[in-house]
Amino acid sequence: MNLSAEAWLVLLATGLYLYDALLLLRHDELVLVRSAGGRWRPAFGANGWKIAGQEPWLPNPLAPWQALARVRWKLDQGLAEAAAGELRLPRIGRLPRIGVALLGLTMFVALPLCLFVLRHTAATLAVIAAMYACIAAVLLGLRRDALAQGLAPGVFRLLALECVACPPFCVNAVRRVSLRVAPHVTLADVASQEAAAGRLDELKRQLQLRVNEQIEALPEGSARLPALQATARSLDREAER
């Protein structure tokens, strides 16, 4: 394939962005995605196929400003798991969320436009300068949010270094920081929210898929089997309501 150096650069940036965004989830994990209006929607990995025994999940590539929270649930309890009480989910301010959106537009729209259409050195340099201005704004806003929510300064410094060294990683900066902030939420809290929004059936279906998968994988006589079978029956009853 005879591609120009500029085309390879854009493909590399896109590949690095998607690679960094991809999550591998355990069978007992889901992701909460902060959608418009501040609501958190649950998402599950691709149950049909796995990478190294884990379910791949790719967040919306066109919405890098959406914060994420990884939640682990108990297979042997399912929806019977106790609620967390006071919910605590990652809080990301407006500056970094706007910053990653602008950085994505600059990197994946303005830069290719300069490289393939305008072909003007000054315009290309101006776009690169704008990219690093966005990176600075994103990291400045995220530092305040991250440290206020208990993220270790050393962890944030390493993340910031990666963002400066590899700008496509910075487009995922809101996701990366929010995933490192430990949430205080359980499956019962997620189910309560989904029930209020009329989406509980899909949540039950996803849970049931994973519980049944674990039941099939366990050997006969396993100590975990009765608890998982009880969870499966409970989800069956819930689904029939």
What does the pLDDT look like over 196-208, one tens digit per residue? 888 899 999 999 9
What does the pLDDT look like over 149-183, one tens digit per residue? 999 999 999 999 999 999 999 999 999 999 999 89
Averaged pLDDT score across all residues of the chain: 92
pLDDT recorded at residue 78: 80
pTM of the entire predicted model: 0.91
What does the pLDDT look like over 5-38, one tens digit per residue? 999 999 999 999 999 999 999 999 999 999 888 8
Q: Indicate whether 97 pLDDT > 90.
A: yes
Report DSSP letters for the chain, one per residue: ----HHHHHHHHHHHHHHHHH-EEE-TTEEEEEE-GGG-EEEE---TT--BTTBEEE---TT-TT--EEEEE--TTTGGGSPP-SS-B-----HHHHHHHHHHHHIIIIIHHHIIIII--HHHHHHHHHHHHHHHHHHHHHHHHHHHHTT--HHHHHHHHHHHHH-HHHHTTHHHHHHHHSPPB--HHHHHHHHHHTT-HHHHHHHHHHHHHHHHHHSPTT-TTHHHHHHHHHHHHHHHH-
